[in-house]
Chain A
Amino acid sequence: MQKEVDIVIIGGGPAGLSASISSAEKGKSILILERNEELGGVLNQCIHPGFGLIYFKEELTGPEYAYRFIKEIEKYPNIEVWLETMVVDITNEKEITAINKDGIWEIKTKAIIFSTGCRERTRGNLQIPGTRPAGIYTAGTAQRLVNIEGYLPGEKILILGSGDIGLIMARRLKWEGAEVIGVIEKLPYPGGLTRNLVQCLEDYNIPLYLKHTVVEILGKDRVEGVYIAPVDDYGNPIMDNKRFIECDTLLLSVGLIPENDLLENINIPLDPRTQGPYVDQYLSTLKEGIFSCGNSLLVNDLVDYVTLQGILAGKSAVRYINNEINIEKRAHIEIDGNLRLVVPQYLSYPILEDITFYFRVKEPQKSAILTLKDNDKRIKEWRFPVVKPAEMIVIKVKPEFLRDMENPKFSMEG
């Protein structure tokens, strides 16, 4: 079966929803391809509050945040939504192969927006030794089981990894009557936002063991317990000090992997630091007409940023189709010091508008200075009382500071 539209958006989570609205406003025909049975992505299972403080200036739960956009797209007859539809291939000519209950579709389009989100790192990624019993879940799977399907994944729970989903699930499972033994974190500092540490762990006296990891899983049919051990400064477990913890469930909250397998099929280069594609300020990948936003571009800590990236990607796709983006040259942005990643990684000249940059740092640092340089000439500085790996740094830079740069570089010093 054949289909032709102006813009195809792959993924109907918060990034795809906002991209669809910002591109539909300009009258283009939009098709959202969503593999789940409803729109909203991971927001549907994030029933806790804390969403929208930046974008809506009020505190919403995940489903409420999603609902605002789902309601909004109903107003646009030029947005078509296909649920339970899986994209399996993309060609360099922007031909998409997708599968749903109707069969196999060949979809032709002028621009593609990737808003495919992330998948979770699993036990396989960590290679934890031991048996293979039931009772080992990624935190997000457990979250879906509890909040959407209505099942409790276990009764005596240990959580490995102090990412936000793990912290949120510690409180959620406690509220549902489970015993939450503790949260184990390999790094010397927690992975999640401070407010989640306070409101999910401290509120319920759930202990956080920093510089510890799970070294073995035991149990025949069901998890019976795990061995945990402290780690040295290089992250290697000190096996002499390992100890047994009895539990029937192990949740893994050990990081997210942006889903970009489809981009790799058409040789779009990915940034090893973000695991998303390299993009310029239009959120265009290095292949023109293909855009990326949200958690498949970089792992965001707030959905508000995901929404803003979606809006930008949607607008950029429209401008691309209308031939309004004329790139004369491109400069690669370098990073240095305590910076772990930056998005966008490229500047496309001429620069006409303010550019929002997203950063993450490697280590927690107090009184940090972020510097923008060109060929080692200082252009601008931003000061932060404290920076943390778990909290993204977001700055907006005016075009006059970015004019005609040869070797733009951001660095963070003490």
Chain B
Amino acid sequence: MKKELTCIVCPLGCSLEIEIGEDIIVKGNKCEKGKNYAIEEIKNPKRILTTTIKIKNGKYKVIPVKTTAPIPKEYIFPLLEKLSEIEISAPVPIGYKVLENIFQLSIDVITTRPMETKENTRKTKETKKST
């Protein structure tokens, strides 16, 4: 089987041609890093997932989250599905664990910002006004 990929290791963006047989043969790469990238992309492509989840009583209705490490691509949509059913409550700090050890990968899903409650946001505004 043949596959084409664009290398993203550096701005050069080499067009890679990959032959997948017993061995993986990479052509078009100008350096060793490109070869490693192609092999990893074929064998086990991984991505960090970032999305939002619902939050109760927060300053906003949703809060951004991420996986703590790249996850295999095939887990992206199942994880999105799972996260769409979750709702947390404000206040939460940054780095708060929303899900632990997803798909037994030793990877968590954490918040990427803190979020105050609605009431608290209002309060800080009023304090500012009085000073």
Contacts and interface: CB of A to CB of B under 8 A. Distances in A.
Majority secondary structure of chain B interface residues (helix, strand, loop or mixed): mixed
Given A102-B129, A194-B11, A203-B47, A147 B64 contact: yes
A391 interface: yes
Interface string A136-172: 0000000000111110000000000000000000000
Contacts of A197: 6
B76 interface: yes
A386 interface: yes
A293 interface: no
B20 to A, nearest CB: 17
Nearest to B9: A195
Nearest to A40: B113
A44 B113 contact: yes
Given A49-B48, A199-B47, A63 B54 contact: no
B84 to A, nearest CB: 9
Given A47-B51, A194-B13, A150 B80 contact: no
B117 interface: no
Interface string B52-79: 1010000011101010000001001000
A61 interface: yes
Interface in B68-123: 73, 76, 80, 94, 112-114
B62 A150 contact: yes
B1 interface: no
Nearest to A84: B125
A195 B52 contact: no
A381 to B, nearest CB: 19
Contact of A47 (B6, B50, B80): B50
B47 A63 contact: no
B76 A175 contact: yes
B113 A386 contact: no
Contacts of A148: 60, 62
Contact of B52 (A150, A198, A199, A385): A150
Nearest to B131: A102
19 contacts: A47-B66, A47-B112, A59-B48, A63-B64, A64-B94, A64-B113, A67-B94, A102-B129, A146-B52, A147-B52, A147-B64, A150-B61, A175-B80, A194-B11, A195-B8, A198-B5, A199-B8, A199-B47, A386-B12
Given A146-B52, A202-B6, A203-B73, 5 more contacts: A47-B66, A67-B94, A148-B60, A385-B12, A386-B13
